[in-house]
Amino acid sequence: MTITWKNQAPRIRCRSVITSGGIDGYELSTDPDRLDLELVHRWLSTDAFWALGRTRETVEESARGSLNFAVYDVGGDQAAYARVITDRATFAWLCDVYVAPAHRGKGLGTWLATAIRDHLAPYRLKRVLLSTRDAHVVYAKAGFTPVPNPENFMILSAEG
């Protein structure tokens, strides 16, 4: 069997979600046309330890193949970002969660994770996974728990 990968993933659309008034006038949106991918690229490639040096092309391609969530402040400026990779039937991976430094400490990370959890609920997924080095408390408030049997999980990594 031969698998052929296309260079351009189709943009994944999800039902549009706009939630306002959650925290101090912040708004959450899933509209991919509102995303400031230049800003997301800057955040991830220069400040997010897991994505340092990530190229703009990689950020764009990963956004095209994901469900994207963004938080905007009262002035409409993007304050946070996260994306979900999912088959919409059994599994999802929450990743690239980033809250801009000026907006940290306001509960936006927990609000974003909770909104994503609620958005994914109708899919009745068996698992939603994420990896975090330092935000366990944030995700626990949204209902995430440590992997019960980490020895059952393996990784195939290009990093060696």
11 lies in some domain:
no
8 lies in some domain:
no
Asked whether residue 6 carries a pLDDT value surpassing 50, the answer given is no
Residues contacting 53, CB < 8 A, separation 6+: 45
User: pLDDT band for position 3 (50/70/90)?
Assistant: very low
pLDDT in tens, 35-87: 999 999 999 999 999 999 999 999 999 999 999 999 999 999 999 999 999 99
Asked whether residue 140 carries a pLDDT value surpassing 60, the answer given is yes
pLDDT in tens, 104-131: 999 999 999 999 999 999 999 999 999 9
- What average pLDDT does the structure give for the chain? 89
120 lies in some domain:
yes
Q: With beta carbons less than 8 A apart as the criterion, state whether 81 and 70 touch.
A: yes
Strands 78-86 and 91-99: antiparallel
3 lies in some domain:
no
6 lies in some domain:
no
The mean per-residue pLDDT over the stretch 9-32 comes to: 69
Q: Indicate the SS3 state at residue 1.
A: coil
CA dihedral defined by 89, 6, 30, 122, rounded to 10 degrees? -10
Q: Token digits for 30?
A: 């899933």
* Domain range enclosing 108: 18-152
Domain count across the chain: 1
9 lies in some domain:
no
49 lies in some domain:
yes
**Residues 51, 135: Cα–Cα separation, whole Å:** 16
What percentage of the chain carries pLDDT values higher than 90? 81
CA atoms within a 13 Å half-sphere pointing along the CA-CB vector of 128: 24
130 lies in some domain:
yes
The CB density around residue 61, as the number of other CB atoms within 10 Å, is 14
**The pLDDT of residue 10:** 43
67-72 β-sheet, strand order: 18-20, 27-29, 67-72, 78-86, 91-99, 127-129
Asked whether residue 16 carries a pLDDT value surpassing 60, the answer given is no
**The pLDDT of residue 125:** 97
CATH of the domain at 141: 3.40.630.30
- Pick the residue with more confidence: 75 or 20? 75
**The pLDDT of residue 117:** 97
| Residue corresponding to tokens 């936006």 | 108
**The pLDDT of residue 19:** 64
User: What type of residue sits at position 153?
Assistant: F
